[in-house]
Amino acid sequence: MTQSPARLTLARTRSVCPVCLEQIEAERFLRGDTVYLGKTCPTHGRFEVPVWRGAAAYLAWGRQQAPRSAPTGRLTAVDKGCPHDCGLCPDHRQQSCCVLIEVTSRCDIACPVCFASAGRQGTDADFATIEGWLDTLNTAGGRVHIQLSGGEPTVRDDLADIIRLTRSKGFDFVQLNSNGIRLARDPAYVAALAAAGLDCVFLQFDGVTDAVYQRTRGARLMALKEKAIDACAAVGIGVVLVPTLVPGVNTQEIGAIVDFAVARLPAVRAVHFQPVSYFGRCLKAPEDADRVTLPEVMSALARHCPGVSLADFRPGSAENAYCSFSGRFSVDRDNRFHALGGPVSCCGVAPEPDAVRPSPAVDRERRSVAGQWKRPASPCGDGLDAFDAFLASRERTLGLSGMAFQDAWTLDIDRLRQCHIHIMAPDNRVIPFCAYNLTSMDGKALYRR
Amino acid sequence: MSNTIPEGAGNPADLLCFACDVPLEMGKVEATYLGQKFPVDLPRCPKCGFVYVSEDLALGKMLRVEQALEDK
């Protein structure tokens, strides 16, 4: 790395040493047009890593910080300090929004890139354990979104039963993380998931060519991805494409992925880009060139998509501003994008499922018409056409978003403490996603077992 | 009010306002949700202005509109 004396300290924070995971002081500083996280471990030396390429956007972006809220429910005590006391601890600054439940550690492919270090050998969480997790979340008082994850959840034949269980516990939005292989090969299975109340599939989708999948997943998967989307569309399950972006591997396909999504509207609701993080199986110390940052993704989208500008993107509404971006767009018949106003999902995605799904009592209660729809004093208009026109326009709505997970090099405690995407640990602790997956340079995990 | 109204009643005049005991009439209403306005025709009480939303509409088209606006 070349060093330049011209640098500007932006803020002090804390991080961990990538070697020993001890909490150490850190700073965010600007050098050239790039924001770095820098830190020095007294034992293992200096580490500097780019976290945001684009100084002007960095400063503007930070003015849109989300409000903070203390977590509810079960807490762990503050002892060693963040990120060593997660559970959540009283120092955490955000409640859970989306909670991942890992229903299996088995997977039907062995990806070179895997945050969960899943493999073909593994175990399934038993039903009672899953029920205990859901009860714990309910006790904590959160009406959170549940994301069924793994491993590859679809290796389980009883996944529909798990979805039904989740819905029966009052969780009204259930997502599935999947590589899509079984979804592509087993339409009856997909139909059963839909009937059980699955809202949305987060489909691992790294590119539009087999060459990309061979590098990221070790298999030719493109045809299967298309079949998986078809299967979901047939039963009304919304699909969010989730590319893991690796510089030099698939960043050149960002535009092609969006084009693919537009061609598959309304089955595909959104594209959620995830710049690669170096944990799990990614053990080599990354170079600066191995990193892609959120503003680079936003710039690539603005360059590629007609009508999209950087001003159309916003930080997530609940997490730290530098963790995510999202924008919602109406795409006209000439494939020109028009930014839509209104709220942006706190999960950074806009799945918008039209899924035909059960209407549990909690759904009915929460959505009671009298409480949610207001009636102004001066009515006007014509029949129910306004609803129809609105729904028709949404058929051509696409969400474009991204989320930057943190690894041992990029971990910024300020960001971690505002994390609202959590994982249910086997021992019923609720742990922020980036802390749960954090591994040291030699692969030692802080939480994952 | 909804307890007194037969489900699926096709004619607004078949519906009585529980509070005013008068038949509902089709009227223009502007429903709003999360800042979006929808001018629609719905049965309403000519006396107190109470609007009736059928279960089918509430759990069908209106629910889909809500979900779309909520990004769900």
User: Which of A77, A128, A347 lies closest to A238, judged by CA?
Assistant: A347
Q: Tell me the CATH number for domain A98-360+392-436.
A: 3.20.20.70
Which range (A39-53, A134-148, A196-210, A323-337) has the least confidence?
A134-148
Q: Does B47 touch chain A (CB under 8 A)?
A: no
C-alpha–C-alpha distance, residues A407 and A113, integer Å: 13
**pLDDT over 90 at A232, yes or no:** yes
Of A350, A384, A386, the CB nearest to B71: A350
A320 band by pLDDT with thresholds 50, 70 and 90: confident
DSSP alpha helix (H) spans, B1-72 = 55-59, 61-69
Residues in chain A: 449
**Average pLDDT of A219-229?**
96
Of all residues in chain A, the one with the smallest CA distance to B55 is A369
Q: Does B29 touch chain A (CB under 8 A)?
A: yes
**pLDDT over 90 at A297, yes or no:** yes
Question: What residue has token string 């590098």?
Answer: A215
Q: What are the tens digits of pLDDT across the range A412-443?
A: 988 888 887 888 888 888 888 888 888 888 88
Q: What is the distance of C-alpha B43 from the center of its chain?
A: 6
Q: What are phi and psi of A130, to 5 degrees?
A: -60, -40
A318 band by pLDDT with thresholds 50, 70 and 90: confident
Q: Does B3 touch chain A (CB under 8 A)?
A: no
- Of these ranges, A155-164, A320-329, A372-381, B15-24, the one predicted with the greatest mean pLDDT is A155-164
Higher pLDDT, A101 or A370: A101
Higher pLDDT, A349 or A14: A14
**Average pLDDT of A83-87?**
78
The pLDDT of residue A444: 85
Of B33, B61, B71, the CB nearest to A384: B61
Higher pLDDT, A94 or A300: A300
Which range (A24-28, A261-265, A334-338, B58-62) has the least confidence?
B58-62
A334 band by pLDDT with thresholds 50, 70 and 90: very high
Instruction: Tell me how close the Cα of B56 comes to any Cα of chain A, in angstroms.
Output: 12
**pLDDT over 90 at A122, yes or no:** no
The domain spans of chain A are: 7-62, 98-360+392-436
Of all residues in chain B, the one with the smallest CA distance to A395 is B68
Q: Does A309 touch chain B (CB under 8 A)?
A: no
pLDDT tens for chain B, residues 1 to 72: 333 343 444 576 688 999 999 999 998 888 888 888 899 999 999 999 999 998 889 988 898 888 878 765
C-alpha–C-alpha distance, residues A53 and A32, integer Å: 9
Query: What is the number of structural domains in chain B?
Result: 1
Q: What is the ipTM of this complex?
A: 0.83
In DSSP terms, A399 is beta-bridged to A270, A328
The pLDDT of residue A281: 56
Of all residues in chain B, the one with the smallest CA distance to A199 is B72
The pLDDT of residue A181: 96
Q: What is the distance of C-alpha A294 from the center of its chain?
A: 13
Give B65's contacts in chain A (Cβ within 8 Å): 387, 390-391
Instruction: Tell me how close the Cα of B25 comes to any Cα of chain A, in angstroms.
Output: 13
Q: What are the tens digits of pLDDT across the range A339-379?
A: 986 544 444 343 333 332 323 332 332 332 222 233 333 33
**Average pLDDT of A298-306?**
97
A43 band by pLDDT with thresholds 50, 70 and 90: very high
A402 band by pLDDT with thresholds 50, 70 and 90: very high
Q: Three-state SS for A166? A: helix
Q: Does B69 touch chain A (CB under 8 A)?
A: yes
Sign of CA dihedral A96, A91, A46, A44: negative
C-alpha torsion B71→A97→A165→A153, nearest 10? 90
Q: Does B26 touch chain A (CB under 8 A)?
A: no
**pLDDT over 50 at A85, yes or no:** yes
The pLDDT of residue A113: 64
Q: Three-state SS for B4? A: helix
Indicate the helix (H) or strand (E) that contains A233.
helix A222-234
Give B34's contacts in chain A (Cβ within 8 Å): 342-343
Q: What are the tens digits of pLDDT across the range A240-274?
A: 999 999 999 999 999 999 999 999 998 999 999 99
Sign of CA dihedral A404, A320, A429, A24: positive
The pLDDT of residue A438: 84
Give B40's contacts in chain A (Cβ within 8 Å): 381, 383-387
Q: Does A265 touch chain B (CB under 8 A)?
A: no
Q: Are strands A34-41 and A45-53 parallel, antiparallel or unpaired?
A: antiparallel
Mutation for B interface: A384, A388, A396, most B CBs within 10 A: A384
In DSSP terms, A124 is beta-bridged to A104
Please state, for a pLDDT cut of 90, what percent of chain A lies above it: 53
C-alpha–C-alpha distance, residues A95 and A208, integer Å: 36
Which range (A58-67, A140-149, A410-419) has the least confidence?
A58-67
